[in-house]
Amino acid sequence: MSKKKEKQEEIEDQQNSETQTETVETPELTVEEKLQEELGQEKDKFLRLFAEFENYKKRTSKERIELFKTASKDVMVSMLPVLDDFERALMHIEEDKEAEELRKGVVLIYQKLLNTLGQKGLAAMEVKQGDTFDSEVHQAITQVPAPSEDLKGKIIDVVEKGYILGETVIRFPKVVIGQ
* pLDDT tens figures, 89-127: 888 887 777 778 888 888 899 999 999 999 988 999 998
Instruction: Give mean pLDDT, residues 65-71.
Output: 76
pTM: 0.60
DSSP class of 173: P
Q: What is the CATH number of domain 70-178?
A: 2.30.22.10
Q: Residue type at 136?
A: E
Task: Name residues whose C-beta falls within 8 Å of residue 135's C-beta, 6 or more positions apart in sequence.
Answer: none
User: Where do the structural domains in the chain lie, given as residue ranges?
Assistant: 70-178
Dihedral, 100, 102, 108, 109 alpha carbons, nearest 10: -160
In Å, what is the CA distance from 121 to each residue of 71, 112, 117?
11, 14, 7
Strands 168-171 and 174-178: unpaired
Percentage of the chain modeled with pLDDT above 70: 86
pLDDT tier at 24 (50, 70, 90 boundaries)? very low
In Å, what is the CA distance from 163 to each residue of 60, 66, 75, 124, 142?
27, 17, 13, 4, 20
pLDDT tier at 2 (50, 70, 90 boundaries)? low
pLDDT tier at 44 (50, 70, 90 boundaries)? very high
Residue 19 pLDDT > 70: no
Q: How far apart are CA 77 and CA 161, in angstroms?
A: 12
Give the pLDDT confidence score for residue 55 in this predicted structure: 96
